[in-house]
Amino acid sequence: GEDVEQSLFLSVREGDSSVINCTYTDSSSTYLYWYKQEPGAGLQLLTYIFSNMDMKQDQRLTVLLNKKDKHLSLRIADTQTGDSAIYFCAESLYTGKLIFGQGTTLQVKP
């Protein structure tokens, strides 16, 4: 079946790197996404990666995809207090439907 798993909580110090991990089960996923949700706000698309890619870098964000293990990670370099939010991993099916993980709450301590 379709399932996406994430750890629920991550705490880091300001200036450190954060790594948020995600696993998924559907091998037919086309794209994998990372979204950010701040309190009371909607979802902000951070980045996405095509399922045939291994890595994608966008400024402070690095996405790594291990398709064999169905493992996705998001690394945030030089984490700032403004990065505190819930981060959702999602996989897309060919229909466009997104399957979301439970979300990882990132706490950045000054």
User: Residue numbers of the site for another protein (CB under 8 A)?
Assistant: 30-31, 33, 35, 41-45, 48, 50, 88, 90, 92, 95-98, 100-103
> Least CB distance from residue 38 to another protein, whole Å?
11
Q: How far is the CB of 103 from another protein (least distance, A)?
A: 6
**What 3-state class would DSSP assign to 2?**
coil
Cα–Cα distance, 99 to 95 (Å, whole number)? 11
CB of 15 to another protein, least distance (A): 29
Upper half-sphere CA count for residue 90 (Cβ side, 13 Å): 20
Identity of the residue, 18 or 101, whose beta carbon is nearer to another protein in the bound complex: 101
Q: For another protein, give the closer residue by CB, 35 or 108.
A: 35
DSSP result, 9-75? EEEEETTS-EEEEEEE--TT--EEEEEEE-TT--EEEEEEEETT-SEEEETTEEEEEETTTTEEEEE
**Please, which residue, 14 or 26, has the CB nearer to another protein?**
26
Residue appearing with tokens 């991990």: 21
Closer CB to another protein, 14 or 105, in the complex: 105
